[in-house]
């Protein structure tokens, strides 16, 4: 696959941070961990990875803006471009020695994501996409799964945890979905969940309470793999809304309908 110069910069930044995370993952029990919020941990590895990614990206394009999970947003003098970065998506997995975490990097141009990279350093799986150029896992082109019926589908989701999200709403949604599908999976890293939809591993995905760095690269991957993405209410701005429903055309629509099914007795 041919990559643009900017995508190569993003891939290089992801691999540089990925090497650092892989080393720290091997020493996960020795990491000094600070509490950022209830059930939400941030480690030295997390901050170090963002610093490495930021340095690589800003060295290549110093006038671009930068939005990262672990630092304050930088407004670029360029005005049209912004990097959107999650240096360690799946922090809880990482800290518990579970090899399912990722670095997610997206490039936004005039409000639209035009390039995305998601790397799992534990498996060396690299997902890349550029607008109009398709989505890839390493060098293999991706397509979303072709299943049309929820009864055949495996659906990914994100589960609200201690101190985060509306647990009651989620349990109602889960009850409705689990009665219609072949399986529901909660893996713990939203960017990889979206990459799995693009790769056809998940037929669909839904979650609330997400941030732009959770979504940006994965949304582009799914769209470039032929999939459909919307917020839970059916709008076209999941990054603004912080919620997402994704899949192929049929599964996304069916999943949306199930999520909006009336609650009996109400």
pLDDT tens figures, 220-255:
999 999 999 999 999 999 999 999 999 999 999 999
pLDDT in tens, 103-137: 999 999 999 999 999 999 999 999 999 999 999 99
Nearest CA-CA partner of 199 in 262, 109, 152, 138:
138
**pLDDT of 263 over the 80 cut:** no
**pLDDT of 1 over the 70 cut:** no
Check residue 86 and report its DSSP letter.
E
* DSSP-derived pairing of the beta strands 244-247 and 204-207: antiparallel
pLDDT for 163: 78
Could you tell me the two tokens for 101? Answer: 């975490």
* DSSP-derived pairing of the beta strands 204-207 and 154-157: parallel
pTM for this structure? 0.93
pLDDT for 176: 96
Q: pLDDT grade, residue 38 (50/70/90)?
A: low
Please list the alpha-helical segments (H only) found in 27-77.
44-60
- Residue 65 makes CB contacts below 8 A (sequence gap 6+) with 73, 74, 75, 76, 78, 81, 82, 83
pLDDT for 117: 98
Classify burial at 206, counting beta carbons within 10 Å of its beta carbon; exposed 0-12, middle 13-18, buried 19 or more: buried
């Amino acid at each position: 696959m041919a990559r643009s110069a900017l995508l190569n910069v993003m891939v290089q930044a992801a691999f540089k941070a990925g090497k650092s995370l892989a080393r720290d993952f091997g020493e996960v029990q020795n990491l000094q961990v600070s509490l950022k919020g209830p059930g939400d941990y941030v480690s030295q590895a997390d901050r170090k990875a963002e610093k490495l990614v930021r340095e690589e990206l800003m060295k290549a394009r110093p006038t671009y803006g930068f939005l990262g999970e672990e630092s304050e947003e930088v407004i670029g003098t360029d005005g049209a471009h912004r990097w959107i970065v999650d240096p360690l998506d799946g922090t809880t997995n990482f800290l518990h020695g579970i090899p399912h975490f990722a670095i997610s990097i997206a490039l936004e141009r005039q409000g639209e994501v035009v390039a995305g990279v998601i790397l799992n350093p534990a498996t060396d799986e690299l997902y890349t996409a550029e607008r109009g150029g398709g989505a890839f896992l390493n060098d293999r082109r991706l397509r979303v799964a072709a299943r049309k019926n929820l009864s055949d589908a495996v659906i990914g989701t994100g589960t609200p945890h201690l101190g985060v999200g509306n647990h009651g709403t989620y349990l109602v949604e889960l009850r409705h979905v689990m009665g219609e599908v072949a399986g529901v999976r909660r893996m713990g890293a939203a960017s990889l969940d979206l990459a799995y939809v693009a790769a056809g591993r998940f037929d669909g995905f839904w979650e609330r309470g997400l941030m732009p760095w959770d979504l940006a690269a994965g949304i582009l991957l799914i769209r470039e793999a032929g999939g459909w993405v919307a917020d839970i209410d059916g709008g076209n701005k999941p990054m603004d809304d912080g919620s997402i429903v994704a899949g192929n055309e049929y599964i996304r629509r069916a999943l949306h309908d199930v999520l909006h099914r009336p609650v009996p007795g109400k």
